[in-house]
């Protein structure tokens, strides 16, 4: 198996999460806008809660709570965030549920039939 190394530096954990989500979306053929990627990255870094939603608005990613609700709705539609059937909490999909650390690696296996 051949291994190709590509290095990417980011300025923040949110940007790092956004890069990882972009790779995931590329490989799963999910098309998200830059704003949707950013909102999802905030959720990945800071968890999905009221405090993070307020941070997204104060950071200027979204203008108000209504536009954020609309984006959250689209992210649900794409299956990027899901509602836990037992607790009714909104969570990231399983593949995006991991902590962001200073250095992250992505292993992608591409098979040819």
3-state class (DSSP) for residue 67: helix
pLDDT surpasses 80 at 1: no
What is the rounded CA–CA span in Å between residue 13 and residue 58?
Answer: 18
Question: Residue 36: which of 78, 8, 64 has the closest Cα?
Answer: 78
Q: What is the mean pLDDT of residues 15-32?
A: 95
E strands, the chain, where?
Answer: 81-83, 90-92
Q: Could you tell me the pLDDT band of residue 107, with boundaries at 50, 70 and 90?
A: confident
pLDDT at 104 over 90: no
Is the pLDDT confidence value at 54 over 90?
Answer: yes
Domains of the chain: 13-96 (1.10.10.10)
Residue 2 binned pLDDT confidence (cut-offs 50, 70, 90): confident
Average pLDDT of every residue of the chain = 93
Residue 105 confidence (pLDDT)? 84
């Amino acid at each position: 198996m051949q291994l190709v190394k590509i290095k990417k530096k980011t300025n923040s954990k949110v940007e790092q999460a956004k890069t990882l989500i972009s790779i995931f979306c590329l490989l799963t053929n999910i098309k998200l806008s830059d704003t949707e990627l950013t909102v999802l990255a905030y959720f990945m870094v800071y968890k999905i809660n009221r405090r993070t939603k307020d941070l997204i608005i104060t950071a200027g990613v979204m203008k108000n709570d209504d536009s954020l609700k609309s984006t959250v709705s689209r992210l649900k539609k794409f299956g990027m965030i899901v509602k836990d059937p037992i607790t009714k909490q909104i969570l990231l999909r399983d593949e995006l549920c991991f902590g962001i650390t200073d250095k992250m690696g992505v292993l992608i296996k591409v098979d040819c039939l």
